[in-house]
């Protein structure tokens, strides 16, 4: 069976309501724990269908945003999504009041009910129409950015298609291509501002309607975070400023020497004078190499990747009409994940084959768990699997980068470390935005520049329109579509670095811990998953400091002149 053979249909909303209402009434009238567990299984089975069709509708549209039929299917699932949330909310309420709670915990562990308790706070029928509006606005952003046609040197490009010029060895090409990019943003500034302004105010309204003070705590609850809050995150960001910013600052100075430039601007994002490492080979060759790599890494990853290839569960190469970006989704009805990306000839293509494959491998490894809710963990935990896979596959990078392998490793480590201040800046910015929902678009951009001077004091935009006025974050889709997601990457990176360190010392035990983590899926909360994987929690004192020490030592020992 391949992806094209997967069954797809539009779930009928009225029928679904009827079915869930029946299950709810069975659940309420159940005289035994077993009867209630039976009802949970029925909802789970319904969810597998619903989530599968919804994911397929969304994926098919991402694969071709000009396909009218695909758009109609996605729109349909978008339109019923708040009603479905309402349905689940109704079931969750009776579940939450179950007299057999202990038996349910004995069967599924604590996480299932804990997550339900959090999720109950995030919904009320009163906000259903506001949720519909939120989905529309998020789609407006996708439509606008995915449909971008940017003229560069006489040809039209989409945003992903411009990528290779941004990392060109010729500074003039880098600058001009970025200018083309941000001219497009400048031309669409008002619309970008409007969409975000509406989203922020709408989210604030949803939060207040639900009884929250503002969107921040609701944002955390939507992410299903159960073991930490804004205070812990703020403390973590502070550590990034103290421990990481000085090292990244040093790397920035080192880059001036490497590139032979007196001053670095935003468009000097390359790492080496003769260019960043590029994968050697056609997309098909790269995929074949990845298949060999996953066979050599472990029997589990070998089986997994064979299925991804043989069942056509990947759409990797950039083409016209494809939504930008890369992601992993899943079809629980078939116990299969799917990888979507936009290969464009940069080293990022390989990171897709490791990062997104890490997500996919975790999902694939978790399908033995009894509840579909456990097939994915919360996002900060999910990014551990993907970012760690980037490191576990290091010994095979010469397959892809040949003579550029050492360059790739340097870029990977220095890039991952440099990412932490950026990630923290995006997070800090969002906290401020949702604390101050009434400020103007201009004030948001000013605030961005102010925060940048703390987290990335080395950033300079030269005379480039739009970004010199603080608009760069408007290209970051998470800020529009997945509020508060961004810090997850930094928390997970801190964990992935630990896997890298362990793997350097003792591969077998590191890999075993990683497998255990993948198999646990979402059956535990973030901090408990971290514990299961025998890692330190990023919120623990000294955790980041120890990680950064090791990373810094590696960077200091790296002979930059040798590459």
Question: Which stretches of the chain bind Zn ion, using CB under 5 A?
Answer: 386
> 548, 244 in Cβ contact below 8 A?
yes
φ, ψ dihedrals at 315, nearest 5°: -130, 105
> 389, 358 in Cβ contact below 8 A?
yes
Q: Which is nearer to Zn ion, 119 or 386 (CB)?
A: 386
Closest separation in Å from C-beta 480 to Zn ion: 17
User: How far apart are the C-alpha atoms of 496 and 502, rounded to whole Å?
Assistant: 10
User: How far apart are the C-alpha atoms of 559 and 563, rounded to whole Å?
Assistant: 8
Q: Got the DSSP string for 370-420?
A: S-GGGSS--HHHHHHHHHHHHHHTGGGHHHHHGGGHHHHHHHHHHHHHHHH
Q: Which is nearer to Zn ion, 102 or 476 (CB)?
A: 476
CA dihedral 234→235→240→245, nearest 10 degrees, is: 80
Q: Which distant-in-sequence residues (6+ apart) come within 8 Å of 200 by Cβ? A: 215, 433, 434, 437
Per DSSP, the three-state class of 330 is strand
Closest separation in Å from C-beta 23 to Zn ion: 34
Q: Which is nearer to Zn ion, 386 or 523 (CB)?
A: 386
Closest separation in Å from C-beta 44 to Zn ion: 25
Closest separation in Å from C-beta 421 to Zn ion: 19
User: How far apart are the C-alpha atoms of 61 and 70, rounded to whole Å?
Assistant: 5
Q: 321: phi > 0 → left, psi -120 to 50 → alpha, else beta; which? A: left
Closest separation in Å from C-beta 314 to Zn ion: 15
Q: What's the number of CA atoms in the CB half-sphere (13 Å) around residue 85?
A: 22
User: How far apart are the C-alpha atoms of 245 and 34, rounded to whole Å?
Assistant: 54
- Angle (deg, nearest 10), helices 487-505 and 230-239: 60
Q: Which distant-in-sequence residues (6+ apart) come within 8 Å of 557 by Cβ? A: none
Closest separation in Å from C-beta 363 to Zn ion: 12
Q: Which is nearer to Zn ion, 383 or 452 (CB)?
A: 383
Q: 208: phi > 0 → left, psi -120 to 50 → alpha, else beta; which? A: alpha
User: How far apart are the C-alpha atoms of 202 and 74, rounded to whole Å?
Assistant: 22
Rg (CA), the chain: 23
Q: Which is nearer to Zn ion, 441 or 538 (CB)?
A: 538
φ, ψ dihedrals at 6, nearest 5°: -65, 135
Per DSSP, the three-state class of 41 is helix
Closest separation in Å from C-beta 496 to Zn ion: 11
Q: Which is nearer to Zn ion, 185 or 338 (CB)?
A: 338
User: How far apart are the C-alpha atoms of 50 and 88, rounded to whole Å?
Assistant: 12
Q: Which is nearer to Zn ion, 73 or 380 (CB)?
A: 380
Of all residues in this chain, which one has the CB nearest to Zn ion in the complex?
386
Closest separation in Å from C-beta 227 to Zn ion: 20
Closest separation in Å from C-beta 212 to Zn ion: 28
Closest separation in Å from C-beta 492 to Zn ion: 8
209 alpha-carbon distance from chain centroid? 28
CA dihedral 552→554→560→562, nearest 10 degrees, is: 170
Q: Which is nearer to Zn ion, 360 or 467 (CB)?
A: 360
Q: Which is nearer to Zn ion, 386 or 490 (CB)?
A: 386
Q: Got the DSSP string for 418-449?
A: HHHHHHHHHHHHHHHHHH-TTS-HHHHHHHHH
Q: Which is nearer to Zn ion, 36 or 386 (CB)?
A: 386
Q: Which is nearer to Zn ion, 115 or 493 (CB)?
A: 493
Closest separation in Å from C-beta 488 to Zn ion: 9
Closest separation in Å from C-beta 493 to Zn ion: 11
Q: Which is nearer to Zn ion, 85 or 363 (CB)?
A: 363
User: How far apart are the C-alpha atoms of 63 and 322, rounded to whole Å?
Assistant: 5
Element (H, E) at 156: strand 155-157
Closest separation in Å from C-beta 39 to Zn ion: 34
Per DSSP, the three-state class of 470 is coil
Closest separation in Å from C-beta 37 to Zn ion: 33
Burial level of 550, CB count in 10 A (0-12/13-18/19+)? middle
Q: Which is nearer to Zn ion, 341 or 386 (CB)?
A: 386
Q: Cβ atoms within 10 A of the Cβ of 252, count?
A: 17
Q: Which is nearer to Zn ion, 378 or 386 (CB)?
A: 386
């Amino acid at each position: 069976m391949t992806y094209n053979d997967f069954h797809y249909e539009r779930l009928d909303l009225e029928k679904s309501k009827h079915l869930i209402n029946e299950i709810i009434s069975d659940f309420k009238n159940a005289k035994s724990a077993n009867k209630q567990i039976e009802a949970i299984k029925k909802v789970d089975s319904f969810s597998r269908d619903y989530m599968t069709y919804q994911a397929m509708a969304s994926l098919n549209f991402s694969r071709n945003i000009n396909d009218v039929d695909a758009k109609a299917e996605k729109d349909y699932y978008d339109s019923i999504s708040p009603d479905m949330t309402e349905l689940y909310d109704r079931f969750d309420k009776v579940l939450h009041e179950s007299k057999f709670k202990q038996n349910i915990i004995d069967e599924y562990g604590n996480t299932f009910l804990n997550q339900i308790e959090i999720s109950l706070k995030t919904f009320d029928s009163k906000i259903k129409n506001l949720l519909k509006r939120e989905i529309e606005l998020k789609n407006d952003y996708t439509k606008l950015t995915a449909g971008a046609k940017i003229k560069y040197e006489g040809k039209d490009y989409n945003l992903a298609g411009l990528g290779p010029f941004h990392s060109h060895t010729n500074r003039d090409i880098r600058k001009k291509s970025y200018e083309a990019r941000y001219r497009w943003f400048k031309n669409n500034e008002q619309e970008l501002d409007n969409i975000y302004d509406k989203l922020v105010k709408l989210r604030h309204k949803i939060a207040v309607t639900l009884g929250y003070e503002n969107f921040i705590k609701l944002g955390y609850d939507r992410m299903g975070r159960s073991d930490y809050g804004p205070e812990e995150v703020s403390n973590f960001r502070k550590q990034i400023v103290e421990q990481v910013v000085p090292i990244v600052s040093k790397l920035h100075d080192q880059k001036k020497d490497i590139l032979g430039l007196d001053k670095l601007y935003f468009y000097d994002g390359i790492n080496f004078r003769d260019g960043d490492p590029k994968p050697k080979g056609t997309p098909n060759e790269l995929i074949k190499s990845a298949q060999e790599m996953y066979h050599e890494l472990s029997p589990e990853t070998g089986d997994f990747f064979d299925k991804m290839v043989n069942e056509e569960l990947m759409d990797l190469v950039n083409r016209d009409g494809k939504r930008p970006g890369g992601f992993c989704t899943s079809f629980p009805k078939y116990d299969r994940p799917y990888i979507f990306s936009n290969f464009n000839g940069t080293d990022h293509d390989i990171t897709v084959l490791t990062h997104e494959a890490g997500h996919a491998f975790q999902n694939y490894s978790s399908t033995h768990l009894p509840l579909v809710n456990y097939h994915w963990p919360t996002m900060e935990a999910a990014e551990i699997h993907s970012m760690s896979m980037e490191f576990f596959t290091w010994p095979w990078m010469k397959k892809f980068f040949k003579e550029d392998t050492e360059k790739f490793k340097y870029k990977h480590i220095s890039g991952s470390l440099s990412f932490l201040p950026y990630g923290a800046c995006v997070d800090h910015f969002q906290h401020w935005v949702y604390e101050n929902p009434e400020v103007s678009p201009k004030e948001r951009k000013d605030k961005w520049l102010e925060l940048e001077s703390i987290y990335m004091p080395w950033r300079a935009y030269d005379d480039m329109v739009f970004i010199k006025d603080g608009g760069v974050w408007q290209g970051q889709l998470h800020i529009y579509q997945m509020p508060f997601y961004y810090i997850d990457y930094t928390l997970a990176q801190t964990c992935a670095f630990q896997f890298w360190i362990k793997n350097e010392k003792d591969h077998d035990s590191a890999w075993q811990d990683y497998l255990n983590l993948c198999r646990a899926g979402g059956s535990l909360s973030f901090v408990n998953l971290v514990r299961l994987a025998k890692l330190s929690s990023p919120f623990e004192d000294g955790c980041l400091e120890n990680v950064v020490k090791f990373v810094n030592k590696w960077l200091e020992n790296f002979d930059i002149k040798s590459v």
